[in-house]
A and B are shown apart, each in its own frame.
Chain A
Amino acid sequence: MKIILKYILTNVKERKTRTAVMLLSILLSTTLLFVSFSIGASYESAQRKMARGMAGSATLSVTAVEGEIAENALPDLPAIRASVPMLEGAALYHENGYYETIDLIGADISKLNKINPPRLADGGEITDFTGNKVILPDRFTSKYGIEAGDTITLQIGGQPVSLEVAAVAAYDTVFLRHTRGATALLPLTTLSELLGKTDGYSEILVEPAEGISTSELKSELSAALPDGTYRVSEVVNETQIAADARQKSMPFFLISFFSLTMSVFIIYSSYKVITLDRLPVIGTFRSIGATQKAVTQILLLESGLYGILGGLLGIPVGTLVLKLILQGMGESLSQGIEIPIVISPISIIFSFAVAVVVSLLSAWMPVRRASRLPIKDVVLGSVEEKQVPRRFILVGGVVLFVVSIILPKLASGNSLYLAGGFSLLGLIAATILIVPLLTNLMAMGLERIYGAVLGNTGRLAARNMRDNKNTVQNITLLFISISAVIAITVVGNFVTTYVSDVFNGAELQGFADGYMEQEFVDQVKEMDGIEKVLPVYVYENQMQANGTTLSRLEATDHLDWYGPMLALHYTEKGMEEQAISAFDGERAVLLSESCMDRTGFAVGDTLSLAVGSGKADYKVVGSFKSRATDVEAVIPSTFAVSDFGASAYDFLAYTAADPDAIMVQIRDLFGDTSNWSRTVEEFNTDALSTVGAFLQPMHSMTYFILLLATVGVINNLLINYIQKRRSIAMYKSVGLSNRQNMKMALIEGFSSGLIGAVIAIFVSYMEIQTIFLVAGPKISMVPELDAVTFLAAGGMGIAVTLLGSVVPIFKSRRMKLVEEIKFE
């Protein structure tokens, strides 16, 4: 055993470059896989941190179905560790003509400290927090040059209120937010008086006692509280956060998938050469009595060593990369929060295991083949590579390719993901099988073109690519790399757009959220440059449908505008026309697909809608999905007025020649009235600064793929040159000059790049189709396929192979012809 280990270590040491290439490919793959795993968990944790901003360690929120909740409404349960009443309000801060929305939070500081103690920017403690005082976050104070001890004026309920800045807090805890504006903390009693809400609170935050789970406490509280009076809800929607994190880590996993595929190919092709190199040693081993199994084990032990080393190094490197990525993410986030690094033991174990398994499996095929060779052939050096009939490979490749395309189209539900995974892998595997044929066919075409344009050298260069294993190997690696870069770029760009641009495809250019009378709407309609104005009545968590509360119901008198404005995608063709006609005079309701999933309602059902004293039956006339709105139901506004007494609008969407100019006027119209008004562009900028930061690292990870591709190409060139230098010497011996050699090498490099790029563009296009077919049911967007992305990636591939040709060109210039020719 000792001697075998020594033999393996000597091999590793002697072949430094090859060892470095293999280690690097494993290391990069492990790093990428590890980062992909951890980034999702870290993102999830950051999201949770942001979602928990106000609640701290409290996990439940208790609110009254109507009005405020009294502190004594909560029963004294041993399952409760702490309960903190919170009062919420809104204010406006006016500075330089711009109104900044301030969310007001009123809390008893001693109680708040139990679940979510605010962290002061100077590190001190809040001692006296009573009266007209306010604590503001440093992000807000630094923007307006406010310091502790200053007095600021806020418009609360239309009245100016002067407050003394008691302290400046870090952008953390209750001050953390998802949107623009700022949060201000006031003493509970002060805010109660200012808002005129002295008999209750907006909500009571509850932290479970130790050993009690949130769901346990939730059921206990729901049971203890009187029916229909209070609502107990979880502060953080864990399912939503997990789904969100999964969505954002999708591109990272895609990167890992490609990097692993590339590693497999790099190790496999390296091992084909390694085993060829080692044939004399294998022969010696076998001739002195080593079994096939023993030879396989010896060679696999070496690849296992690469796997273990690459895996062990990949984890710390991955941690470092993750740290850098998260640091960059945190800094680029508009809120500037610190994102914790979350590393689960499973991600460590899995990444390491994959490194070892991938390394072993990739080497297994060539190793097993070598160890099974007849001893006589190995010793005499008369080993001939077994040729699998080309027809079988081709048919196998084509069948696999077709199956990979069709399978996701046939699958549904959970099997769709399985089919998608198979399809991605199948497309690459099938293309690997077809590459030799495609290369031959394309080289034949190029032979004619080059022959006519570039003469015999061009023709020979193209001819040289036919039935050339090195060329096939280069093209294969190249197509995997280029298709990886294309797929990752397209998916990455899509995710960025998907996450940040919720209004993608929606016609509206601006919106206002606030109390709006008909007169307000009329004034907006009169504004210069305004095009469409769509006022909407909103019932948030008020409307009951057959006893189930709808989270948001909107009423419009212009369904034909409403659909395009909010990018409504109707479930079935023809549903839109039906709905528009039904809205014109019938009690009709449109439901979102998610609402139908949640409630079990179906198109054709009659729902009894009720709010307050109003009640009426509505027929479900259609369903839709939309990313631009989270509305669950839409009804005609005529009936919202007649059945439920709707009087003032709560939401308004518009299109205009100059949306910004309209927005300024709308804000002016609102005056000091609380509102949330944004142009879509403003909204997107805000959203992008939040989510864009999370997606930025994905773009940097694309460079890892390029690095891995470069490693692979270098590896190939090494193998290539070793095998090719003899053929270059043969050419030179019959009169090939250095100039002709350079021309041929460049033409070959260019052609390999071109063929690789063409194949990659096609394969990546098919892969993108599969990815979006699998993701399709969850999203209501189609990817934009930008020709520039495809062409740029293809061009990059050509550049890589052209650059790669430089080394053989220079090396062959200094080639000792006699040595190369005489060497056998």
Chain B
Amino acid sequence: MKQNAGKIAVEGKHIIKNFQIGSTTTKVLRDISLQVMRGEFVSIMGPSGSGKSTLLYILGGLDAPTKGQVLLNGTDISRFGDEKMSCIRRQKIGFVFQFYNLIPNLNVEENIMLPLLLDGKKMGSYKQQLHQILEIVGLSERRKHTPRELSGGQQQRVAIARALIGNPEILFADEPTGNLDSETGAEIMNLLCEINQTIGQTIIMVTHSPEAAKSSGRVITVQDGVII
């Protein structure tokens, strides 16, 4: 169980994001500020093109805001260089994507261990942790399979396991059920809830599905680049 009591996991301050296409500037996020507390499970909802995914990626350090700050443990990460930001991705945050984003020629174990391997950790030292994660996501029997040998739901479980292996402070999920049928989607949501509740994992999730959003403790709605 993580130490969560009343601390801010991530904070966005006056986030503005503009996209430049030719001479046209599109304002995607217009001065958004928000706080997510440790142990919280927050859903971000909103219509297509509202800027919800952009907000998630900026909070998760995969994209940089045009203006504003992203504070992780009180440190602004929005202007970090590649080396520092990569380190944060390996150690502090985990990402789960709609299309799983697994490396096709690596097996389940290797895909899960990837953040640790990139962090220079020895695979042998993390056997116990790997075993636990595989148990949690229910893929112990499939550890040597490659992604193409797994179903969509199983692939998403691998992606969740990969996001969790480094014991991150925050788990970001971009429409984790968007590519799955409703039954499998529900299973994934149950898994995320379980993780949030059992180990106190902070989760920020973008979703279109009100059903999925119901699993979270708080719902933030974004429309036309602002939180409503």
> Are chains A and B native binding partners rather than an unrelated pairing?
yes
Q: Does B194 contact A (CB under 8 A)?
A: no
| CB neighbors of A among B107-129 (8 A) | 110, 114-115, 117-122
* Bound form: Cα–Cα A656–B54 in Å: 87
Q: Does A736 contact B (CB under 8 A)?
A: yes
Kindly report which residue of chain B lies nearest to residue A824, judged by CB atoms. Answer: B99
Contact mask A455-480 → B, CB, 8 Å, 1/0? 11101100110111000000000000
Contact call B101/A730, Cβ cutoff below 8 A: yes
Q: Does B135 contact A (CB under 8 A)?
A: no
* Bound form: Cα–Cα A456–B105 in Å: 17
Q: Does B41 contact A (CB under 8 A)?
A: no
Contact call A730/B103, Cβ cutoff below 8 A: yes
Residues of chain B within 8 A of A110, CB atoms compared: none
Residues of chain B within 8 A of A455, CB atoms compared: 120
Contact call A735/B87, Cβ cutoff below 8 A: yes
Q: Does B90 contact A (CB under 8 A)?
A: yes
Contact call B105/A468, Cβ cutoff below 8 A: yes
Residue from B57, B86, B91 in contact with A732 in the complex, judged by beta carbons closer than 8 Å:
B86
Given contact pairs A733-B95, A818-B63, A821-B62, A740 touches B118 in the complex (Cβ within 8 A):
yes
| CB neighbors of A among B16-40 (8 A) | none
Kindly report which residue of chain B lies nearest to residue A468, judged by CB atoms. Answer: B105
Contact call A734/B105, Cβ cutoff below 8 A: no
* Bound form: Cα–Cα A350–B109 in Å: 55
| CB neighbors of A among B54-106 (8 A) | 54, 57, 62-63, 82-83, 86-91, 95, 97-99, 101-106
Q: Does B177 contact A (CB under 8 A)?
A: no
Contact call B83/A733, Cβ cutoff below 8 A: no
A114 to chain B, nearest CB (A): 79
Given contact pairs A463-B110, A731-B103, A818-B57, A737 touches B87 in the complex (Cβ within 8 A):
yes
Q: Does A287 contact B (CB under 8 A)?
A: no
* Bound form: Cα–Cα A466–B103 in Å: 12
Q: Does B157 contact A (CB under 8 A)?
A: no
Contact call A737/B62, Cβ cutoff below 8 A: no
Q: Does B162 contact A (CB under 8 A)?
A: yes
Residue from B97, B114, B146 in contact with A821 in the complex, judged by beta carbons closer than 8 Å:
B97
Q: Does B53 contact A (CB under 8 A)?
A: yes
* Bound form: Cα–Cα A486–B98 in Å: 49
* Bound form: Cα–Cα A406–B62 in Å: 58
Q: Does A412 contact B (CB under 8 A)?
A: no
Contact call B62/A817, Cβ cutoff below 8 A: yes
Which of A456, A459, A740 has its CB near the most chain B CB atoms (within 10 A)? Answer: A456
* Bound form: Cα–Cα A467–B101 in Å: 17
Given contact pairs A467-B105, A730-B101, A735 touches B89 in the complex (Cβ within 8 A):
yes
Given contact pairs A456-B118, A727-B104, A730-B103, A736 touches B62 in the complex (Cβ within 8 A):
no
A531 to chain B, nearest CB (A): 67
Q: Does A822 contact B (CB under 8 A)?
A: yes
| CB neighbors of B among A506-553 (8 A) | none
Residues of chain B within 8 A of A818, CB atoms compared: 53-54, 57, 62-63
B65 to chain A, nearest CB (A): 12
Contact call B89/A734, Cβ cutoff below 8 A: yes
Which of A455, A466, A733, A738 has its CB near the most chain B CB atoms (within 10 A)? Answer: A733
Residue from B90, B98, B99, B106 in contact with A735 in the complex, judged by beta carbons closer than 8 Å:
B90
Q: Does A573 contact B (CB under 8 A)?
A: no
* Bound form: Cα–Cα A702–B116 in Å: 47
Which of A457, A459, A731, A813 has its CB near the most chain B CB atoms (within 10 A)? Answer: A731
Kindly report which residue of chain B lies nearest to residue A385, judged by CB atoms. Answer: B148
Residue from B82, B89, B97, B162 in contact with A738 in the complex, judged by beta carbons closer than 8 Å:
B82
Residues of chain B within 8 A of A813, CB atoms compared: 82
Residue from A466, A467, A731 in contact with B114 in the complex, judged by beta carbons closer than 8 Å:
A731
Residue from A384, A727, A735 in contact with B118 in the complex, judged by beta carbons closer than 8 Å:
A735
Residues of chain B within 8 A of A731, CB atoms compared: 103, 114, 118
* Bound form: Cα–Cα A822–B97 in Å: 8
Residues of chain B within 8 A of A729, CB atoms compared: 101
Q: Does A293 contact B (CB under 8 A)?
A: no
* Bound form: Cα–Cα A335–B114 in Å: 69
Contact call B86/A821, Cβ cutoff below 8 A: no
Contact call B63/A734, Cβ cutoff below 8 A: no
Residues of chain B within 8 A of A737, CB atoms compared: 82-83, 86-87
Residues of chain A within 8 A of B114, CB atoms compared: 460, 731, 734
Q: Does A739 contact B (CB under 8 A)?
A: yes
* Bound form: Cα–Cα A732–B96 in Å: 13
Kindly report which residue of chain B lies nearest to residue A471, judged by CB atoms. Answer: B105
Contact call B103/A733, Cβ cutoff below 8 A: no
Residues of chain A within 8 A of B120, CB atoms compared: 455-456
* Bound form: Cα–Cα A384–B82 in Å: 36
Contact call A734/B115, Cβ cutoff below 8 A: yes
* Bound form: Cα–Cα A463–B114 in Å: 12
Contact call A734/B83, Cβ cutoff below 8 A: no
Contact call A730/B63, Cβ cutoff below 8 A: no
Given contact pairs A734-B95, A818-B63, A821-B97, A457 touches B118 in the complex (Cβ within 8 A):
yes
Residues of chain A within 8 A of B54, CB atoms compared: 818
Contact call A734/B90, Cβ cutoff below 8 A: yes
Kindly report which residue of chain A lies nearest to residue B115, judged by CB atoms. Answer: A734
Contact call A733/B62, Cβ cutoff below 8 A: yes
Contact call A456/B121, Cβ cutoff below 8 A: yes
Contact mask A790-824 → B, CB, 8 Å, 1/0? 00000000000000000000000100011001101
Residues of chain B within 8 A of A459, CB atoms compared: 117
Contact call A463/B106, Cβ cutoff below 8 A: yes
Residues of chain B within 8 A of A467, CB atoms compared: 105, 146
A419 to chain B, nearest CB (A): 39
Residues of chain B within 8 A of A384, CB atoms compared: 148
* Bound form: Cα–Cα A463–B87 in Å: 22
* Bound form: Cα–Cα A464–B107 in Å: 11
* Bound form: Cα–Cα A813–B101 in Å: 19
Contact call B103/A822, Cβ cutoff below 8 A: no
* Bound form: Cα–Cα A456–B120 in Å: 6
B121 to chain A, nearest CB (A): 7
Residues of chain A within 8 A of B115, CB atoms compared: 734-735
B17 to chain A, nearest CB (A): 11
Residues of chain A within 8 A of B86, CB atoms compared: 732, 735-738, 740
Residues of chain A within 8 A of B98, CB atoms compared: 822
Residues of chain B within 8 A of A734, CB atoms compared: 89-90, 95, 114-115, 118, 162
Residues of chain B within 8 A of A821, CB atoms compared: 62, 97, 99, 101
Residues of chain A within 8 A of B88, CB atoms compared: 735
| CB neighbors of B among A726-762 (8 A) | 727, 729-740
Kindly report which residue of chain A lies nearest to residue B94, judged by CB atoms. Answer: A734
A654 to chain B, nearest CB (A): 68
Kindly report which residue of chain B lies nearest to residue A464, judged by CB atoms. Answer: B105
Kindly report which residue of chain B lies nearest to residue A465, judged by CB atoms. Answer: B105
Kindly report which residue of chain B lies nearest to residue A729, judged by CB atoms. Answer: B101
Contact call A736/B118, Cβ cutoff below 8 A: yes
B48 to chain A, nearest CB (A): 13
Kindly report which residue of chain B lies nearest to residue A813, judged by CB atoms. Answer: B82
Residues of chain A within 8 A of B118, CB atoms compared: 456-457, 460, 731, 734-736, 740
Contact call B105/A733, Cβ cutoff below 8 A: no
B107 to chain A, nearest CB (A): 10
* Bound form: Cα–Cα A468–B63 in Å: 29
Kindly report which residue of chain B lies nearest to residue A457, judged by CB atoms. Answer: B118
Residues of chain A within 8 A of B103, CB atoms compared: 464, 727, 730-731
Kindly report which residue of chain B lies nearest to residue A822, judged by CB atoms. Answer: B53
* Bound form: Cα–Cα A463–B148 in Å: 17
Residues of chain B within 8 A of A732, CB atoms compared: 86, 89
Given contact pairs A463-B110, A727-B103, A733 touches B117 in the complex (Cβ within 8 A):
no
Contact sample, A vs B, 11 pairs, CB 8 Å cutoff: A456-B121, A463-B106, A464-B103, A464-B105, A464-B106, A468-B105, A733-B95, A734-B162, A738-B86, A818-B62, A818-B63
Told that A733-B89, A737-B83 touch, could you supply 7 new A-B pairs with CB distance under 8 A? A456-B117, A456-B120, A730-B103, A734-B162, A735-B119, A739-B83, A821-B99
Binding site for B on A (CB under 8 A): 384, 455-457, 459-460, 463-464, 466-468, 727, 729-740, 813, 817-818, 821-822, 824
For the complex of A and B, the 5 pairs showing the least CB-CB separation, nearest first, are: A735-B90, A737-B86, A735-B89, A456-B117, A467-B105
